[in-house]
Structure 1
């Protein structure tokens, strides 16, 4: 059994010292991908200059180090200490040559190797963020030691090689990638395999889409849509940014078993290949894919052209790309309501993360090393950061915001920058006190809460906003009247919080039926409704004319449930009352997700779970019936999925699976077939043989994951034992198969069956994570945690585990978050 040896994390102090001492000019990397299934050859030549005589080190994590030659002098391979090879340098230019064998991974780190069960073809791709370049080649691995890269690759003759620059086949099996501009080590990318490719030209550059051959027909079906979104965003960014796209091509590769949504490698963006839809999806899901395309393209300027100096400024990458992705998609594609999806489907990720003990500022001032930085890729860096930028735009205006962005890019292109540089550019462009804004918004933690307090007077009504928090907010407030046609906006006005002293806001007429703070969702804060407004929302929420406004109200209800101010059952009742006439699919999906995953499975006591499932099942039936007369494929698909997930009687899922269709459609495509079979497995109405037969009919990667999920969900002791052993006692499961198995294992209603595994989780997850590394630790903490055990005993066991010293940082962080969520669920239940 191969042991994972933790690599020493590069500290900020070490990086600053090395950046002061070294000027790295170029890398030539030669990869040999023909050496078998376990390892590949990697030879690196680094040319650099030492500004003074010094001792330093280069990072690499090889399976075997064969040679290291510094300026013609052989170094002792035995000097490699963990992942550091020491170097003693004189002042002046140097050349380091390193020859290694590197190990393929099956965890989505370094050079990931995947063999497609559908056809036996093998694919490789790199994921080198944050410090995994040393799993591919020797490097001075920090973001501010940029260099140019020349990469050559030897691969099987029938493979195609992709990279940061245009790839040229110079001989059978031999590929040369065009020299890159200066980029950071973590942005180097290579993908190799028998890719199916669709290539078109746009704006004088080659644009490509690539996927596994077994997904070719599905990519071809969506190629026009993907190219249309890509080129529309590309053109729109050229209208926004004065600096042109800085690379020689734009490839998008959809790769298997990818841990993230996508990665912004310059010239070769990698996406998880679930975005190549082989089954029906909703338009909201297509919008999500489009947003990821727009997000990653924004990184070409903000992240790739201008790169953070150290990982404390990762928000500069992710928050900016998140904001630009949603905003640009709204401006130049058919997806014009993206901010509604952000509000209902994304923003809660930030709110939740920001209320846990592990919260951190958007721009933390103390990120001591790479391991600490890796923990900050969460809802704060993405959703909260994007919300902060949206608030900055609301305050500055878009013209000054974009002027600041372009000033920042012009001053730091092909180099590195810091938060201070960004703030300076914004202040230069706007003339506003951006440093004070940044201190309040980017250096603090937690979520402000805004509560309306209305006083009625003989002449009208006066609004006071109670502000629990410290940040300034520029918001829109709307007063709504209830009419026979729904809720109508009587008055809209802006508020700056805190408001200058002595300026009460008095309004004429009767108090509004609904007074909504943050209408338009321009700021990041929890919003409360006063009692009359909530009563109005209960009656008329679905009759509010704007979808984004409805999303703000739903988020207020969500937060009130989480904070113990609204009974979970009331949220469920509101969903049952208003979703049948909800016109925005993102709102339907977001509300159903919270009702299904949190209300039903966690916030309600076990005795109330069956009635809650029945309520959701009835609601889904109503939505399905609605589409009988008003065709809406996305809503119908959402209804069918919910009917399957909430079924208490196996008869209907069994009938659909047997006939291969829902009456009047849709037909059960692979995703729906596995979904139906999973529900039957949970209900005890499926057998291992039936699962294996379904896998034989769908021998794809997703089929293999579906089978793993179903086997683990079976309510049988032997199934649970086999799943547990596969997850924690061996190293055979890839990252995706581990996740699928974990998702199947913990099922509400199987508490007695899995009771003994709850304490085992804390010891077995710790051991496995130490052995297999941070990516698997993340999977173990996110997916294998005993979510269904909403008990004080589980909370106690978890805190005992946290008190120990045997958890690697990635698992420790996930456990801390899970336990805080568990404590919240117990408080909502009244059990803490």
Structure 2
């Protein structure tokens, strides 16, 4: 077995291991005192595991620099380690195994990530494990169904903040060193244990309800503290804990609630019990919109829901990943609406999260919400729009089906019965069925165990509601008519749709909006009369959710080639300037930019690029200061990478000329990147900008600017760096790839297509899956033919399944682009 194969654990072998092992307690000792020294690549780690076994031997998982010592029941054994698995022999019924090793500091965001802040030279550490990177920090049984009580003991430089899942039990101070021992956890899985260490800026608070008193902490890097709006974060946290305490009927299970915003993070956030980590992008360095604050609140509440769904009760294996992610995605919007000032969170969900689900559900790799996950590589790729957003959409349908009271009563019973254990789909359905009095077997079969989605239309002539791929839907049909030059909802008809065709008498209306109020999960099509109505009056609809559903219907029709891209762009140019919901405006501008680049016919693209650039320019320069202007300015910065019509003005803005809005550091870098891509920014310009913003974000942005210059040698250097420079961090790799792809670059980079297909298989086997996936996705050729990718797939039928899945998905995106462009 190769090291790559050994690292890719399978469902069958882990099931066999859990059948033989009963894990009780794990003690992890980490020496992080080497972290400030950039020349030290590793850290000492020692793990002691107490467990029962019915097998004479098994293995522990560990990825690191070396394993130095293995002791089984007091007897030292020869080290048998293949780079991923440590073989342990001579087991009895009751066992204590100690492994002493050296782990490697990560630069990819997997395991124990080390970041050095260029502002002050300080090192910051955090862990990120899901689904299986705890083994980069400790020797462990790396599977969710072997829970244990963990005790962490961490040695770190004196003065550092040191955090883990539980409260501090004891601190021993030495000369320049502190050793922090944390209280023992309740039973949890390895992938949600966590450690954070470094000179983080700290803001503290408290949540008190009845006899519950939980200390709260919010943390960021010291150099970001002036931008850290910790009080809003803590306010959302208290509101969420109040809500979940009532809704779930199970007291918050952990002793602390710390939230740390960390650099170079691969995810939005991670639900480590008592110690949630977030991307630093949620610390807004400059201007930020209401939509950004809403998204952050949603993420805070999403991760908080995991304290119950996922941490308290955990799926047995990654097949049931939805048991936590679908619920958390649903609860993020539900709790935002119910408990915070972001009362229209479902609007953003309809516009953004469901768009992610619709896209994922139309890929060849679509899968049931309850997925078949044979191994860890498959698990890594299933953190997708199906597991999150489709699952949440389906749960919203379930709530409509069984009622909100029954839904939460079922959840309460689920927590009480399975606290600190592992479950499957059947366990949850049993509680929901019992609470609601409904047999959910057929509902589960229709929604959780199938793939794809329905497309629903209303036939005005036959007065029928028609769906493809029939499923049971509970939905509402909105009837909107013109009144005083506005579209006004005159009727809302709720109905059940089960069969392919259902007779439905609707009042005459100018706009028939299928799935009004957004109860179900389906693509809704607008008939021609309805399309004419929204083309004239979309921005006049006074219900933001209804507008969001119309925007969604338009976008889905454009992606499918049913609505010409140029007509869609005309609708955006007419109505987006009057869109008052910032989340909808943000989505509309992003979709318009994508349509120009991917769906407009080649012959029309230059004209559409110029028209879109002009729209963003006019809205940026004519809008009053505020969220809408900021959205348009960001859209302008992106559009300016493809045409230099306003380059002179943008150069002037960056040089200090009068501007219609304040340019924060992030917007300045975005504008400079576009100027670089059109040949209007030099290396010197990038160096000057870095002098203004010599921060981690600034250094990453400079990499993108330099790689974006429209010079063949520059793009070639970026290509080589991305593939061959293994010192690039995850963020720096993204910036390199992003610069390489910026602007109208196809002529500059098409020559690399053949090399791409020659490289990807080696990259997949040699690099971590996080880095390999960024390379495979980021560099996929935007060619005008499917032949090269089809040839690779035919010649590489034996390639790892996860790699083939990524390539097949990228092929499908390209095929859609070509198909939609041809339909124009």
Q: Please give the TM-score of this superposition, normalised by the length of structure 2.
A: 0.95
Aligned residues: 806
The superposition leaves residues 440-472 of structure 1 with CA deviations (integer Å, 9 ceiling, x where unpaired) of 1000001111110123xxxxxx73111101321
- The answer to which of 189-198 and 693-702 deviates more is 693-702
Q: Residues 531-680 of structure 1 correspond to what in structure 2 (within 5 A)? A: 531-597=528-594, 599-624=595-620, 627-628=623-624, 633-647=626-640, 648=643, 649=645, 650-659=647-656, 662-663=659-660, 665=661, 667-680=662-675
Does 2:436 correspond to 1:430? yes
Deviation at 1:156, TM superposition (A): 1.4
User: Partner residue of 2:773?
Assistant: 778
| C-alpha contact 2:590 2:635 (8 A) present in aligned 1 | no
Deviation at 1:768, TM superposition (A): 3.0
Deviation at 1:24, TM superposition (A): 0.6
Deviation at 1:623, TM superposition (A): 3.1
1:754 pairs with one of 749, 756, 770: 749
Change (3 A) 1:643 1:82: closer
- The answer to which of 184-193 and 755-764 deviates more is 755-764
Aligned residue for 1:830, secondary structure, equals helix
Change (3 A) 1:64 1:693: same
Change (3 A) 1:84 1:644: closer
| C-alpha contact 1:774 1:811 (8 A) present in aligned 2 | no
The superposition leaves residues 639-688 of structure 1 with CA deviations (integer Å, 9 ceiling, x where unpaired) of 2122222233211211111116623x2x2111011011001001100111
| C-alpha contact 1:133 1:141 (8 A) present in aligned 2 | yes
Does 2:206 correspond to 1:201? yes
User: Partner residue of 2:708?
Assistant: 713
Deviation at 1:170, TM superposition (A): 2.4
User: Partner residue of 1:146?
Assistant: 147
Aligned residue for 2:412, secondary structure, equals helix
Q: Residues 426-505 of structure 1 correspond to what in structure 2 (within 5 A)? A: 426-455=432-461, 463-498=463-498, 504-505=503-504
Deviation at 1:806, TM superposition (A): 7.6
| C-alpha contact 2:458 2:465 (8 A) present in aligned 1 | yes
| C-alpha contact 2:601 2:822 (8 A) present in aligned 1 | no
User: Partner residue of 2:788?
Assistant: 797
User: Partner residue of 2:328?
Assistant: 321
Aligned-partner Cα distance in 2 for 1:62–1:499: 55
Aligned residue for 2:623, secondary structure, equals helix
- The answer to which of 370-379 and 811-820 deviates more is 811-820
1:403 pairs with one of 402, 405, 409: 409
| C-alpha contact 2:470 2:500 (8 A) present in aligned 1 | no
Does 2:66 correspond to 1:64? yes
Q: Residues 277-288 of structure 1 correspond to what in structure 2 (within 5 A)? A: 277-288=284-295
User: Partner residue of 1:459?
Assistant: none
Aligned residue for 1:155, secondary structure, equals strand
Aligned-partner Cα distance in 2 for 1:138–1:486: 64
Deviation at 1:504, TM superposition (A): 3.8
User: Partner residue of 1:33?
Assistant: 32
Aligned-partner Cα distance in 1 for 2:709–2:88: 56
| C-alpha contact 2:131 2:191 (8 A) present in aligned 1 | yes
Aligned residue for 2:157, secondary structure, equals coil
1:44 pairs with one of 34, 44, 47: 47
| C-alpha contact 1:4 1:773 (8 A) present in aligned 2 | no
Aligned residue for 2:118, secondary structure, equals coil
Does 2:693 correspond to 1:692? no
User: Partner residue of 1:730?
Assistant: 725
Change (3 A) 1:806 1:255: farther
User: Partner residue of 1:214?
Assistant: 223
| C-alpha contact 2:472 2:499 (8 A) present in aligned 1 | no
2:815 pairs with one of 817, 823, 828: 823
Deviation at 1:627, TM superposition (A): 3.1
User: Partner residue of 1:186?
Assistant: 191
Q: Residues 225-240 of structure 1 correspond to what in structure 2 (within 5 A)? A: 225-240=232-247
Aligned residue for 1:506, secondary structure, equals coil
The superposition leaves residues 162-195 of structure 1 with CA deviations (integer Å, 9 ceiling, x where unpaired) of 1101135322421111211110011110011111
Change (3 A) 1:107 1:810: farther
| C-alpha contact 2:469 2:500 (8 A) present in aligned 1 | no
Aligned residue for 2:537, secondary structure, equals helix
Q: Residues 85-484 of structure 1 correspond to what in structure 2 (within 5 A)? A: 85-167=86-168, 168-172=170-174, 173-203=178-208, 204-219=213-228, 222-364=229-371, 366-455=372-461, 463-484=463-484
Aligned-partner Cα distance in 2 for 1:495–1:75: 68
Deviation at 1:621, TM superposition (A): 3.9
Aligned-partner Cα distance in 2 for 1:279–1:806: 48
Aligned residue for 2:321, secondary structure, equals helix
Structure 2: gaps spanning 5 or more residues: none
Deviation at 1:381, TM superposition (A): 0.4
Aligned-partner Cα distance in 1 for 2:25–2:91: 19
Change (3 A) 1:360 1:72: same
Deviation at 1:82, TM superposition (A): 3.6
Aligned-partner Cα distance in 2 for 1:784–1:698: 28
